[in-house]
Structure 1
Amino acid sequence: MKILVFSDSHGNTKTMMELVERHKPDRILHLGDVVRDAYTLREAFPDIPLDLVRGNCDGWLPEPEELHVTLEGRKLFLCHGHTYHVKYDWGEAAIAARAEGANILLFGHTHQAMCTYKKGLWIMNPGSVRGWDASYGVIILDGENTVCYTNPV
């Protein structure tokens, strides 16, 4: 299973659509700021399941601030990250993900891409899909293997 991970799109639906066309993912995750962009993706690619959480720029929309999704036997913990103060340190978010038994923690908010594996937990921020240093994330779940990485746009 190939999953594309976007965050902090801030109106850049064009790039996300191009990346979906290029990668042909089985699922799309959007980590907030701006969830309206995720709605646009959902309309453009109705056959690809899309999960999303709201970010600090999304106001009081009905989407959750965090979401727990199980895919191919892996538990994913999705959040925008602002409620866990990730601009300072992602440790609080990692503690929350581990408490939920997650295998993968996904957050945005900082606009800085990163991906690491620490003590049994994949931790990814896909960065912002908008800007001069735009980036996105990819997760591949293949049998028992999990591969996570970020890419520049």
Structure 2
Amino acid sequence: MRIVVVSDSHKDFYSLQKAVLSQSSAEVVVFCGDGNEDMDTLAVTIPDKMIISVRGNCDWCSEKRYSEEITLENKHIFVTHGHLFGVKSGYSQIINQAHLLDTDILLFGHTHVPYTAYDDGMYIMNPGSIGYTGTYGIVDITPSGIMTNIIKL
């Protein structure tokens, strides 16, 4: 299963759409906040994909939750924007929370800086900002394991 991970579009609908449409084999799109209006518009054009979207600190009128926990291909995924965990000052708080939730894959945004890591059995990804840095992420869950990649538009 391929998952497209995007965050922080900040009204750059064109880049968001380009990233998602470039990954036609992806079954799921995860949006880590700050641009929910962009994602809501995109969702209308891609009704065949599962969309998971959380609220960011700039999504003032959004009714979405600040975090979501989902299971795909028997992997527990924790999705959040990251601002409530102080990610601009470091990742220890969000990583600790994800471990407490027994997370296999942690996805977050907010910093606009792309990041991938592996920590004690957990894959971690911040795709950066599709609006500002033009980066997004791919998570592939296969029978052989999990792979994460950052892609530049």
TM range, normalised to the smaller chain?
A: over 0.9
What are the superposed Cα offsets for residues 42-74 of structure 1, whole Å, 9 maximum, x if unpaired?
111011110000000011522100100100011
Contact residue 16 and residue 131 of structure 2 kept, 8 A = no
Paired AA for residue 102 in structure 2: G
1:96 maps to a residue whose letter is Q
Query: Residue 139 of structure 1 corresponds to which residue in structure 2?
Result: 139
Q: Which amino acid aligns with 2:60?
A: G
- Give the aligned CA root-mean-square deviation in angstroms: 1.0
Where structure 2 has 5 or more consecutive residues not aligned to the other structure, the ranges are none
1:87 is paired with a residue whose SS is helix
| Matched residue type, 2:58 | C
For structure 1, which segment, 13-22 or 97-106, has the greater mean C-alpha deviation from structure 2 after superposition?
Answer: 13-22
Question: 1:76: which partner in 2?
Answer: 77
Query: What's the counterpart of residue 121 of structure 2?
Result: 120
Aligned to 1:66: 67
Query: 2-side partners of 1:39 and 1:60: how far apart?
Result: 13
Q: Mean alpha-carbon deviation: is it higher for 9-18 or for 48-57?
A: 9-18
How many residues matched? 152
| Runs of 4+, deviation exceeding 6 Å | none
Aligned-partner SS, 1:23: coil
Aligned twin of 2:131: 130
Unaligned stretches of 5+ in structure 1? none
Q: Distance in 2 between matches of 1:20 and 1:125?
A: 16
The answer on 1:46 being equivalent to 2:47 is yes
Tell me which residue corresponds to 1:103.
Answer: 104
Distance in 2, matches of 1:135 and 1:47, equals 23
Query: What is the SS of the residue equivalent to 2:15?
Result: helix
Letter in 2 for 1:76: I
Partner of 2:91 in structure 1?
A: 90
Normalised to the residue count of structure 2, the TM-score between the two structures is 0.95
Instruction: Tell me the percent identity.
Output: 32
